[in-house]
């Protein structure tokens, strides 16, 4: 698969302005981002690229702050090289070490997650993923039945297994993410993750103790009823992929309609990860 790389040069007065643009690009198909000192890079599969949609979206932000961009086509044969060059190991809470297959392990960390860097979102570098991992460290997953929606690379599903979850169902609509989750589970010697390709219709007719959903506001709202149906009474759900203002209040109101009560949230820049209980 060929990819388009858009190199954005931005001049902003507030950090959140660039984050808003990145979030909006994610909603029209851009699936990988690299933040730079002067802006950021955004990547999208060539088959998903719609110049008309891009122009319409960017017009909404041109009055908010100044930016310019350049478009480059990256052939399939060069994609992994680009992706690997942007992947650095990360440490979360002095307990989790996330690395690629080509990095050296750090046995002093309690938990190590190995991610083969491909096109799937979810390496732990984005604030939403790292906050979800932090929330998971603070809560009990032992012997729990877990659903991971929008699983990306499978990083949260893998972490749930390492925290003692009984079983994990990991779902993503993107075939690349489905394949990546299976491969990364094998890399981490995890055998209790079942990967499914699809969206809310792929959620099994079962009850889960914990649901993880790091997607975006609109998709979360669309899938909220199904989450409420799939979560056991007393079960926990962790949401991320949206901003504190105005998204958190909107998510909380949508969740309340289906018996999901807001408990608390973490914040990194304008991004949040929130805990709810049924």
pLDDT at 79: 62
160 close to 190: Cβ distance less than 8 angstroms? no
pLDDT score, position 166? 98
The residues of the chain that CATH labels 3.40.50.150 are 121-277
Q: Which CATH number fits domain 121-277: 3.40.800.20, 3.40.50.150, 3.40.50.970, 3.40.50.2300?
A: 3.40.50.150
Say what the pLDDT of residue 43 is.
87
Delimiting residues of CATH 3.30.70.930 domain(s) in the chain: 3-83
Q: Token digits for 182?
A: 């299976």
CA 186 to chain centre: 20
Beta bridge mates, 182? none
Range 82-91 contact pairs with CB under 8 angstroms and sequence separation of 24 or more: 82/5, 83/32, 83/117, 83/118, 83/119, 84/117, 86/34, 87/117, 87/123, 87/125, 88/125, 90/123, 90/124, 90/125, 90/130
pLDDT at 120: 46
Instruction: Give 105's DSSP letter.
Output: P
**Does the pTM of the predicted model rise above 0.85?**
no
Opening angle at CA 256, ends 251 and 258, nearest 5? 110
Helical H segments across the chain, by residue range: 15-26, 51-61, 76-85, 127-137, 155-162, 175-187, 217-230, 249-256
Mode of pairing for the β-strands spanning 3-11 and 66-74: antiparallel
Each residue's pLDDT, cut to its tens digit, for the chain (278 residues) gives 788 999 999 987 776 788 889 878 988 988 777 778 788 888 888 999 999 999 999 999 988 899 999 999 988 766 666 666 667 788 998 899 999 888 899 999 999 999 876 644 555 567 888 999 999 999 999 999 999 999 988 999 999 999 999 999 999 988 878 988 999 999 999 999 999 999 999 999 999 999 999 988 888 999 999 999 999 999 999 999 888 988 999 999 999 999 999 999 999 888 899 999 99
Give residue 132's pLDDT.
95
Enter the CATH code of domain 3-83. 3.30.70.930
């Amino acid at each position: 698969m060929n990819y388009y790389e858009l190199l954005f040069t931005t001049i902003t007065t507030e950090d959140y302005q660039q984050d808003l643009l990145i979030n909006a690009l994610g909603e029209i198909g851009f699936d990988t981002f690299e933040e730079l000192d002067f802006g950021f890079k955004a990547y999208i599969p060539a088959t998903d690229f719609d110049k008309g949609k891009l122009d319409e979206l960017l017009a909404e932000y041109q009055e908010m702050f100044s930016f310019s961009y350049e478009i480059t086509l990256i052939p399939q044969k060069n994609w992994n090289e680009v992706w690997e060059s942007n992947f650095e190991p990360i440490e979360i809470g002095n307990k989790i070490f996330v690395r690629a297959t080509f990095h050296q392990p750090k046995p002093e960390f309690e938990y190590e997650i190995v991610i083969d860097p491909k096109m799937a979102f979810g390496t732990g570098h984005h604030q939403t993923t790292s906050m979800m991992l932090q929330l998971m460290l603070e809560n009990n997953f032992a012997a729990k039945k877990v659903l991971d929606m929008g699983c990306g690379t499978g990083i949260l599903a893998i972490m749930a297994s390492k925290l003692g979850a009984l079983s994990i169902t990991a779902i993503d609509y993107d075939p690349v993410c489905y394949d990546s989750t299976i491969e990364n589970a094998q890399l981490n010697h995890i055998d209790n993750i079942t990967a499914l390709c699809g969206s809310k219709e792929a959620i099994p007719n079962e009850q889960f103790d914990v649901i993880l959903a790091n997607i975006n506001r609109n998709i979360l709202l669309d899938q909220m009823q199904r989450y409420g149906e799939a979560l056991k009474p007393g079960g926990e759900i962790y949401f991320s992929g949206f901003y504190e203002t105005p998204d958190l209040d909107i998510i909380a109101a949508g969740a309340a309609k289906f018996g999901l009560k807001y408990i608390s949230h973490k914040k990194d820049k304008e991004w949040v990860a929130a805990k709810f209980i049924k």
